[in-house]
Amino acid sequence: MLDANFWQDKAKSQKILKEKKLFEDLIDSYEDSTNQLKDLDDLYLLAVDENNVSVKKDIFENIVDLKSAVKKNEIKCFLSNEADSLDCYVEIHAGAGGTESQDWADMLRRMYMKWSDNKKYKFDLISEHKGEEAGIKSSTIKIQGNYVFGWLKKESGIHRLVRISPFDSGARRHTSFASVWVYPVVDENLNIEISDKDLRIDTYRSSGAGGQHVNTTDSAVRITHLPSKIVVQCQNERSQHKNKETCMNMLKARLYDFEMKKKEKLNQNNEASKAEIGWGHQIRSYVLQPYRLIKDNRTNYESTSPEKVLDGDLDAFLEQSLYQVK
């Protein structure tokens, strides 16, 4: 029986309903897999009695499919941390290297957008600083969907690209770096104390889409939290007030994420690592030339189809990283 005030707190009720659906899906899938396994077992005994090789072959093929379904449910069980059910922000910064790294940062952003499309998740562009010639210097997108943060939380880190540069007339091989930072979208009513004296608020002219009005007024907002040196920015709204409101929500999310990692003893001074986007820090390498390979340096999982991964086929890498979440 629901509490009479259940629907009054929209954020809390939505969170509970998300969790309820996850558990219902897991239970339904478990019961379905159990029934399928029992049916296959009965069928196998009949096939053995009749020495029916064709039926045995079909049974083994069905077992492979069943194992795949069970594995997916097992992975869902890892999405049980406090913030896993939340939406998330994905913040991308180009490393040193000018146009090369800025183009790589744009490729990464497209990868996460394509992944969101494949999952039927909604995403919004929050901020964007374009590169001089191509790509982006930095960008933040907001992704909304079931357990988005849980799926993407291990994507934070340095991503390395090796390829023949399309910007080099000598067709030489270049190595580029970009950082990815994923943090949850927290409830606007979450009580996180932020003192005005700890903030520096800057306004500037937007360089992104949004029409003539956006580009001719100082509607974009950048907020720096002085004690933590966390910087957030937003330019996707025409209203400076709305951009400031979005920035404050992002800042609350960043501070929440910071405290959450401290509690879990996973705080590895991410802000310091972001300052050095280069060798020795990468979590994943994407090699397009002279051979084609994507390798995750934490799980050792590999793919020889980088074009599929860059088109948003990320699930195998995300699943492997979830197995390592403690």
| Domain termination site, one of 214, 237, 255 | 255
pLDDT at residue 210, rounded to an integer: 46
Largest CA distance in the chain: 81
Claim to verify: residue 145 and residue 13 sit in the same structural domain: no
pLDDT value at position 212? 45
Q: What is the pLDDT of residue 263?
A: 63
Same domain, 24 and 115: no
Please list, in sequence order, all residues whose beta carbon lies within 8 angstroms of the beta carbon of residue 68, skipping any fewer than 6 positions away. Answer: none
The confidence score (pLDDT) of residue 214 equals 46
Residue with tokens 């972001």: 274
Which of 255, 290, 306 is the last residue in one of the domains? 255
Of 214, 197, 196, the residue nearest 205 (C-alpha): 214
* Residue 2 belongs to a domain: no
The answer on 171 and 148 residing in a single domain is: yes
CA distance 309 to 322: 17
Place of tokens 């009720």: 13
Residue 257 is predicted with a pLDDT of 83
Residues 97 and 174 in one domain: yes
Which of the residues in the chain have pLDDT under 50? 209-214, 266-267, 269, 272-273, 275, 326
Q: Which domain holds residue 206?
A: 196-255
Q: What confidence score (pLDDT) does residue 14 get?
A: 74
Q: Which of 47, 76, 105 is the last residue of a domain?
A: 76
Give the whole-angstrom CA distance, residue 23 versus residue 184. Answer: 21
Q: In what order do the strands lie in the sheet with 220-225?
A: 199-204, 220-225, 230-234
